[in-house]
Amino acid sequence: MFVHNKRLQYTVRVAAPNPGLANLLLEQFGGPQGELAAACRYFTQAVGEDDPGRKDLLFDIATEELSHLEIIGSIVAMLNKGAKGQLAEAVQSEAELYRSLTGGGNDSHTTALLYGGGPALTNSAGVPWTAAYIDTIGEPTADLRSNIAAEARAKIVYERLINVTDDPGIKEALGFLMTREIAHQKSFEKALHSIQPNFPQGKLPGVPEFTNVYYNMSSGNDARGPWNDGSDWKFVEDPQPAVDGGDGLATVDVSADDIEVLKAMASRTASDTSTDLTTGADLGAGQA
């Protein structure tokens, strides 16, 4: 059951309307690293989770992300307050209204013009939100890693948004939202490591002869570091196909009937290597 508390999780104090900034903040409302994506990601994982600890954690964080969605949406709504009334009531001249919406070279068509000042479920470029942003695979040792990465990306987007606004109240609220993504990363990391073992993901181990091998797939200025050097690694300087020791060819057994069909197709589409025709847009049309 969800019950709505009428107050926000964090107080929002916006100094003045700014439709351009509202547009940028939509990135965390309806963008891939935004709060709706985070809420839906953890909510669906929570519903499918059987472990009581992880289920509770995922529902708590999903619910908090909805609270963040409410905060960021409220900031967008405040930033559009002026534009919303002006667009609806047309009290200014056209030129003045145009300037107020596009002042400073901003592009506020999604928040202001298209959605009339309401927070839209789009990213900052106006691309509609999609469930394809959520990459849940249904295995906690993989999903928790993906969740950590999603929180890391959200943290970075908040940091960039903080850097483009000089409104102290918005900076403070965004700082809270950014910080919560750090806390969520910590919880997900602890939850991941409370599953032992958690690497590699799933149940099947890797094939031993390929698990600790680094293939040097280029030549010249090869960098060495802990990712390919040391006792963990066998560094293969000049890998040759096929690394399994086989002939490196792709084969399949097909039925006799299919062999006949494939032969017919090969014969019909065979290249005649003896021809040297003049080609253009149409065969024989002239020299290019």
Mark the binding-site residues for Ca(2+), compressed into ranges: 56, 60, 216, 218, 220
Residue (of 24, 27, 29, 37) closest to 149 by Cα position: 37
Q: Check binding of 27 to Mn ion (CB under 5 A).
A: no
Binding residues for Mn ion, total number by CB under 5 A: 7
Give me the least distance between CB of 206 and Mn ion, in Å please.
Answer: 31
Give me the least distance between CB of 192 and Mn ion, in Å please.
Answer: 15
With b for 16 or more beta-carbon neighbours within 10 A and e for fewer, the 88-117 pattern comes to eeeeeeeeebeebbbeeebbbebbbeebeb
Tell which positions 146-165 bind Mn ion, by CB under 5 A.
151
Of the candidate spans 35-43, 70-78, 110-118, 190-198, the one that interacts with Mn ion by CB under 5 A turns out to be 35-43
Q: Check binding of 41 to Mn ion (CB under 5 A).
A: no
Give me the least distance between CB of 186 and Mn ion, in Å please.
Answer: 11
In this structure, what is the dihedral angle of CA atoms 189, 193, 195, 198, given to the nearest 10 degrees? Answer: 100
Q: Check binding of 181 to Mn ion (CB under 5 A).
A: yes
Give the x/- contact pattern for Mn ion in 218-247, rule: CB under 5 A: ------------------------------
Of the candidate spans 8-16, 32-40, 78-86, 138-146, the one that interacts with Mn ion by CB under 5 A turns out to be 32-40
Q: Which residues are annotated as a binding site for Mn(2+)?
A: 35, 65, 68, 151, 184
Of the candidate spans 67-75, 80-88, 123-131, 217-225, the one that interacts with Mn ion by CB under 5 A turns out to be 67-75
Of the candidate spans 115-123, 138-146, 184-192, 223-231, the one that interacts with Mn ion by CB under 5 A turns out to be 184-192
Return d(Cα 234, Cα 223) in angstroms, integer. 15
Of the candidate spans 90-98, 165-173, 177-185, 219-227, the one that interacts with Mn ion by CB under 5 A turns out to be 177-185
Pick the binder of Mn ion from 41, 84, 155, 184 (CB under 5 A): 184
Q: Check binding of 54 to Mn ion (CB under 5 A).
A: no
Q: Check binding of 68 to Mn ion (CB under 5 A).
A: yes
Choice between 38 and 112, CB closer to Mn ion:
38
Task: State the Rg of the chain over Cα.
Answer: 28
Applying CB under 5 A, which residues contact Mn ion?
35, 38, 65, 68, 151, 181, 184
